[in-house]
Structures are given as structure tokens and as C-alpha cells.
Amino acid sequence: MNTKITIVLIEDEKNICHFIASTLTAQDYKVFTASNAQTGISLITSSCPDLILLDLGLPDRDGLEIIEEIRTWASIPIIVISARTQEQEKVRALDSGADDYITKPFGPSELMARIRTALRHSNRLHTDSLINQRPYQAEGLVINFEKRLVTLDGAEIHLTQIEFKIVSLLARNSGKVITYDSLISNVWGPYADDDNRILRVNMANIRRKLEKNPAEPHYIFTEIGIGYRMLEDKEG
């Protein structure tokens, strides 16, 4: 089974929240919902979503503050869903770091189209390489970013959500060293342990799944004291 794309929805109006969550679930997205900023930020740091849907008018904090905070440590696509229709409000949200702005009310078709567009653009954030527009391929290992599917010599490899994010980030930058801090920041945000333990545990699990001999890795190499480097894509 492929890893589902994860979305965090922060919306305090119950009817709208239910409508959006039901629409996304029916389209096979994994959805976490929050009715306030505090819960929403906690969900973002714990679930490492692929996209955030954010209402600006939350009970505990203004949505613009949330966008600015998230942008200090993550490039996750953020789509604002708001009843604020003034052009100035839209500009402020986009200038704060939002990727898109949908005005309430909206239909499911528009919402899904905006989400697909934001996810396509997010695949190009890490590097301008053509690898973001096609699967990573190197010596039997294939990573299809769009389908979120990993295969090794034709057999599907089952990765957790976090493991896929790590492998995906390394693959999109194959041949380059990605530092421990950069990986932790991109995957977990600023609240992860600062001793790299959570990264080391996940990397050990990844290597058990990908490598014939994890002690002598063929696909993901350790640059001691710096970070990790993935075998260069054969077309990269």
C-alpha cells in the first residue's frame, strides 16, 4: 500500500472542518484536524504533513502569525481558507508565506485543484533538478515521488511516513550531502531532539529495508559528523 499524502487542517468552524475533511478522505488523503492554533502546530510537528490548510480566524491566534512561525523552520505548502475577501488580506497572507488563498465558500473541485497544484510545486522546492519531475532511479532502487512508491529490484518497500520523507529529501538531492540539521529541520521542524537520535533511529530502519548489508550501505552513505548522501540518480 502506498504512503498516503498527509494534510493538517486547522479550522474552527465544525461544519466546514467536517466538509473539508470528508472531501479529502474520500480522495484518499490522510487528514488531521485541529480547531485552534495550539493544537494545529502540535499536529504539524508530530505528523510532518505534506500540506497545511489554514483558516485565518482562529480563536487563540491569528492565522498570519502561524504562517510566519511555520516559515521560520519549514517549507510545507500552506493554503489559506478564509472568509476574509479583501485583496489586502490575501496579499498579507501570501507575503507572510502562504502558497495559495481560497475564499469561503468554495466547492470541492476547486479545493482539490488547489491542493494538487500546491503539492506539485512543493516537489520543486528542494532543488531545481529534473529529478523532481520524474522518479529517482539508481541501481534497482526506484522512488516515485508522485505515487509515493518505493521499489527495490521491482519489489515494493514499505516505508513509514517519516522514513519516506527522509528518503525523498535525500533522493531529490542525490549525490549531495544533506546535513543532520537540515534533515531534522525539514522533516520534524524545530522541536525535535537536538542529539540526532530520532534521525539515527529512522535511518537505521531505512537501511534495514533498503540495504543488503546495512553495515556497508550501497544507497545511503554517512558523512561522519556532517550528514547523509544518497547514491546519485543515474540520470542526475
Q: How far, in Å, CA of 112 to CA of 82, rounded? A: 16
Cell 550501505 belongs to residue: 217
Q: Flag whether pLDDT at 132 surpasses 90.
A: no
Q: How far, in Å, CA of 196 to CA of 217, rounded? A: 19
Q: Which three cell numbers stand for residue 232?
A: 546519485
Q: How far, in Å, CA of 17 to CA of 199, rounded? A: 33
Sorting pLDDT into bands at 50, 70 and 90, what band is 117? confident
Sorting pLDDT into bands at 50, 70 and 90, what band is 211? very high
Beta strands of 51-204 (E only): which ranges?
A: 51-54, 78-82, 100-103, 136-138, 141-144, 149-152, 155-156, 177-179
Long-range CB contacts for residues 204-212, cutoff 8 Å, separation at least 24:
205/160, 205/163, 206/159, 206/163, 206/166, 206/167, 209/157, 209/158, 209/159, 209/163, 210/141, 210/152, 210/157, 210/167
Higher pLDDT, 55 or 131: 55
Sorting pLDDT into bands at 50, 70 and 90, what band is 15? very high
Amino acid letter, residue 18: H
Q: Flag whether pLDDT at 99 surpasses 50.
A: yes
Q: How far, in Å, CA of 161 to CA of 121, rounded? A: 20
Report the side by side order of strands in the sheet with 220-223: 177-179, 227-230, 220-223
CA atoms lying within 13 Å on the CB side of residue 125 = 15
What integer pLDDT is reported at residue 191 of this predicted model?
62
SS3 state of residue 213? coil
Amino acid letter, residue 20: I
Q: At a CB cut-off of 8 Å and minimum separation 6, what does 114 contact?
A: 79, 100, 102
Sorting pLDDT into bands at 50, 70 and 90, what band is 194? low
Peptide bond into 77 cis (omega under 30): no
Hey, what domains does the chain have and what are their CATH numbers? 6-122 (3.40.50.2300), 130-230 (1.10.10.10)
Residue 186 · residue 228 · CB < 8 Å:
no
Residue 103 · residue 33 · CB < 8 Å:
no
- Of the listed ranges 75-79, 124-128, 153-157, 222-226, the least confidently predicted one is 124-128
Q: Which three cell numbers stand for residue 153?
A: 529490484
Q: What average pLDDT is seen over the chain?
A: 88
